[in-house]
């Protein structure tokens, strides 16, 4: 069956500022509601030193989600691996996997914001090589044997991580918005998290074939942020939140030389260039059906209705509508009943 998930970043923009305790509590409450509605996955994401408090500590967040849920899988999309000591991360991830009884999917990415690397004292130019070494170390940590590692950036002697994660092997996925991210996932034999920007799935499948490896778990971001019978009315509620989010991402990506979208002039300009940002349930079904027809290898989708600063009750209406009128349409193999 096709899996469906929600993606959370725990942001608290100054224009809509609440207490962070309230932001976290209300988001956890929404995650519990999503599990009750039948969602399969909850995804989290990491950045650092952002004024709106963009979630910086994903293993702590995932542990809290694990303790408050019983069925959903909990993933990181993505954790910025070069900014973490891989052995400590392996221990933290194993602990979350134990707390959740084997429900963690560790999705990692390279990172692209120069300021984050500078703040941590890491040379931005070394992040790809750090990523390769750290990925190897993670996998060695999640085996019961002791190991030593002597790389360019990481050095360990006679390390044996205990306790081990429940899942054997522990799921590891790579995510990113570039051909290099796809190449790394295929070369190292991991699953891939494809965001809602450029369609990198064909390249991932091609590179997996080149390495004579079957594709791993393949998760795709969906293009919409709200579901409603009246998209214009729903857009009026979310437009400024969409603009805040999109503008910031574009500025970050442009600064890193990874342009995915043009810099938006206004919220309405975003919608004009991206009309599926608010869709009816019927349109959501069609979009997912088209993606599955083109790439039946996709194992799951996620989307992000709780935009930065948006009232949780507003996002919940879309979450409920998607659960009621979109998710049940999909059966084994991604087949969709007629509308």
Calculate mean pLDDT across residues 105-127.
97
Quote the mean pLDDT of the chain. 95
Examine the pLDDT at 339 and tell me if it is beyond 50. Answer: no
Quote the CA–CA distance of 222 and 224 in Å, as a whole number.
6
Q: pLDDT tens digit string along 294-310?
A: 999 999 999 999 999 99
Banded model confidence at residue 183, pLDDT cuts 50, 70, 90: very high
pLDDT of residue 25: 98
pLDDT of residue 132: 96
Cis peptide before 163 (omega within 30 of 0): yes
Q: pLDDT tens digit string along 230-277?
A: 999 999 999 999 999 999 999 999 998 877 778 999 999 999 999 999
Say if residues 260 and 267 touch (Cβ distance below 8 Å). Answer: no
Q: pLDDT tens digit string along 213-230?
A: 999 999 999 999 999 999
Q: What tokens were used for 134?
A: 């750290």
pLDDT of residue 338: 37
Domains present along the chain, CATH in parentheses: 3-136+168-231+276-334 (3.20.20.30)
Percent of the chain past pLDDT 90, that is, above it, reads: 91
Give the angle subtended at the CA of 67 by the CAs of 225 and 116, to the nearest 5°: 55
How many of the other CB atoms lie within 10 Å of CB of 299? 16
pLDDT of residue 198: 62
pLDDT of residue 261: 77
- Cα-based distances in Å from 168 to 98, 105, 134, 337: 12, 12, 19, 36
Sign (positive or negative) of CA dihedral 66, 68, 72, 75 = negative
């Amino acid at each position: 069956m096709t899996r469906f998930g929600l993606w959370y970043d725990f942001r608290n923009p100054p224009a809509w500022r609440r207490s962070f305790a309230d932001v976290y509590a209300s988001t956890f409450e929404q995650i519990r509601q999503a599990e009750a509605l039948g969602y399969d996955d909850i995804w989290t994401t990491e950045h650092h030193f952002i004024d709106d408090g963009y979630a910086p500590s994903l293993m702590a967040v995932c542990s809290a989600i694990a303790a408050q849920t019983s069925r959903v899988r909990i993933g990181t999309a993505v954790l910025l691996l070069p900014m973490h000591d891989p052995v400590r991360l392996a221990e933290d991830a194993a602990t979350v996997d134990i707390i959740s009884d084997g429900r963690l999917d560790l999705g990692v990415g390279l990172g692209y914001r120069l300021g984050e690397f500078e703040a941590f004292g890491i040379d931005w130019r070394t992040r790809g090589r750090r990523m390769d070494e750290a990925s190897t170390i993670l996998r060695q940590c999640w085996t019961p044997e002791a190991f030593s590692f002597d790389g360019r950036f990481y050095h360990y002697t006679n390390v044996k991580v205990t306790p081990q994660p429940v899942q054997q092997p522990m799921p590891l996925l790579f995510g990113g918005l570039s051909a290099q991210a796809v190449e790394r996932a295929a070369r190292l034999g991991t699953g891939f998290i494809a965001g809602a920007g450029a369609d990198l799935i064909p390249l991932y499948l091609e590179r997996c074939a080149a390495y004579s490896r079957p594709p791993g778990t393949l998760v795709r971001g969906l293009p919409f942020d709200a579901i409603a019978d009246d998209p214009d009315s729903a857009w009026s509620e979310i437009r400024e939140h969409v603009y805040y989010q999109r503008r910031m991402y574009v500025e970050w990506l442009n600064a890193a030389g990874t342009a995915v979208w043009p810099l938006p002039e206004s919220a309405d300009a975003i919608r004009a260039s991206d009309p599926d940002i608010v869709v009816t349930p019927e349109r959501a079904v069609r979009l997912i059906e088209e993606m599955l027809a083109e790439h039946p290898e996709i194992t799951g989708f996620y989307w992000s209705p709780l935009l930065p600063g948006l009232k949780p009750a507003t996002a919940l209406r879309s979450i409920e509508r998607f659960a009621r009128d979109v998710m049940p349409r999909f059966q084994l193999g991604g087949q969709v009943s007629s509308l």
